[in-house]
Amino acid sequence: MSKRKLNLLFERARNEPAPVPPEEFAAGVLHAIRHEPPGAVMEAPSIFDRLDLLFPRIALGAVAVIILCAVLDFGLTAAGMPGLHDGLSQISAQWLLTPDEFQL
Amino acid sequence: MNDDAELLERIRNGATDDFAEVVRRHQGRVYAILHRYERDAHKIEDLAQETFVKAWRALDQFDGRAPFDHWLSKIAVRVALDHLRREKRRQNEIGLPELGDDALDWLRSGDEQSELDGRAAAELLDLAMRELSPLDRVVITMQEIEGRSVKEICEATGASGVAVRVRALRARGRLRRALEKLMKGEHEQTEIEPAV
């Protein structure tokens, strides 16, 4: 599918006439709103809708955090200080089972 | 009475029946937006009614800074987006509609200038766009079919300019792949037909 063919498809779809509303459409809407006062608050968007709208900012933020952690780990290791990896190993050894305890 | 602002003021002051005039003035525009996202005439009518009911409920929020039809268009786009999200969840249950021969012939043809009417083109795009997320579909439809600017799409969808550009680019790529898949699927069918 070439770019030109896709553009042609858009162009032809653009020419499709919209359907005509039925004669009694306005009366139907009026019937539906008759019992409602104007100005009621619209439904709030869901949390998923809000997250969807934040794309790609959330994705970029996540990548930035990963890069920051990697650079920090690399910098600490290069400076001879315990890096994030060592920190995680310490936590693992302190709170989780050590390899010795797995020995049968 | 030819001014929307005057008409809306009367409605706010209690002339509920005048809302029918608002509907008559703008129903064509609302239908034109919604039929880009739904092919079934009855469903379009339901969605158009939902759009006007939501506009009625939110009438106090219309401040008159932008033209009323812009504000109403935004509501129609949000209604379409919600509809696409609901349909996306049901998509696997209802299956896919079949494409007409005209659309498939055009898709398979090497001659780009061959005949394809607006209806067949819209059916083809509708089927291919089922591969897109609802928001991607709205973005690409507004940009490529309705010819809206990025700013207008941002206003209607609530997405940022960067997000709209990224989504438009991604949607085009996915759409091309979806159309290629449709083309390939048809080739596979014609290949296995003689053996059946």
When divided into structural domains, chain A yields a total of: 1
Residue B117 shares a structural domain with residue B177: yes
Assess whether pLDDT exceeds 90 at residue A99.
no
Position B93 pLDDT exceeds 60: no
Name the residue among B38, B45, B37 with its Cα closest to residue B138: B37
Which residue did the predictor score with more confidence, B118 or B30? B30
Contacts of B20 (CB under 8 A, 6+ apart): A26, A27, A29, A30
pLDDT at B18 over 50: yes
Q: How confident is the model at residue B1 (pLDDT cuts 50, 70, 90)?
A: very low
Residues B73 and B119 in one domain: no
CATH label of the domain that carries residue B106: 1.10.10.10
A33-45 tens-digit pLDDT: 887 765 554 555 6
A103 lies in some domain: no
List the domain range (segments joined by +) for residue B174: 99-196
pLDDT band at B196 (very low <50, low <70, confident <90, very high): very low
Answer whether residue A40 is part of any domain. Answer: no
Task: List the 126-165 stretch of B: residues with Cβ below 8 A of A.
Answer: 135, 144-147, 157-160, 162-163
Nearest to B112 among A4, A25, A42 (CB): A4
Q: What percent of chain B has pLDDT over 90?
A: 48
Q: How confident is the model at residue B190 (pLDDT cuts 50, 70, 90)?
A: very low
Q: Pseudo-torsion of CA A70, A71, A77, A79, nearest 10°?
A: -170
DSSP helix/strand/coil, B175: helix
CA-based torsion, B145, B100, A19, B72: positive or negative: negative
pLDDT at B193 over 70: no
CA dist B136 to A30, B17, B65, B126, Å? 33, 38, 28, 13
How many structural domains comprise chain B?
2
- The answer on B82 and B36 residing in a single domain is yes
Q: Mind giving me the DSSP string for A52-95?
A: HHHTTHHHHHHHHHHHHHHHHHHHHHHTTS--HHHHHHHHHHHH
Long-range contacts formed by B169-173: CB under 8 A, 24+ apart: B170/B136, B171/B132, B171/B136, B171/B137, B171/B139, B171/B140, B172/A6, B172/B140, B172/B144
Q: Encoding tokens for residue A85? A: 């990896």
Token digits of residue A19 = 């359907």
Same-domain check for residues B106 and B180: yes
Q: Is residue A51, in this structure, part of any structural domain at all? A: yes
Residues of A (65-94) whose Cβ lies below 8 Å from B: none
Residue A101 in any domain: the answer is no
Do B130 and B178 reside in the same domain of the chain? Answer: yes
pLDDT score for B28? 95
> Between chains, do A52 and B135 touch, taking CB under 8 Å as contact?
yes
Nearest Cβ partner of B17 from A1, A30, A52?
A30
pLDDT value, residue B167:
93
Range of the domain at A65: 3-35+46-96
- How far is the C-alpha of B23 from the C-alpha of B115, rounded, in Å? 36
